Structure 1
């Protein structure tokens, strides 16, 4: 999509969140201790932390960034 839409000055990026505290994946849920053991920061992220990355990608500072995958996952994929 980045190649297709680039000529229209449209950027396309993917935000890949790791464990985020939510109603479906609570930081105090049954498997929370195990999930925290998998990530270097040993905690769940917040929706606000993911939103900050999305806001950056939607803003002018990321105008030259396209076709990228941004992982917001506490190093889970490291």
Structure 2
């Protein structure tokens, strides 16, 4: 069975209606609670630049798919 790459790419880029708390997020997705990291580019609104998304950016190898840590990171 062949996978339709168009639907796969669309899912990676599609906006989220709400945060995926504890779930996987793709770098180019974005949700209504997007909050930029301190070093984010001002025009970018994507999970890769969100302070609530954990892509292990401080680790030796970053993740291709991040984890949504909202609202836990608000509390920490």
- TM-score, normalised to structure 1's length? 0.21
Q: Relative to total residues, which structure has the larger helix share, 1 or 2?
A: 1
For the pair shown, the structure with the greater C-alpha radius of gyration is 1
For CA contacts below 8 A with separation 6 or more, give which structure has more relative contact order: 1
Normalization by structure 2: what TM-score? Answer: 0.21
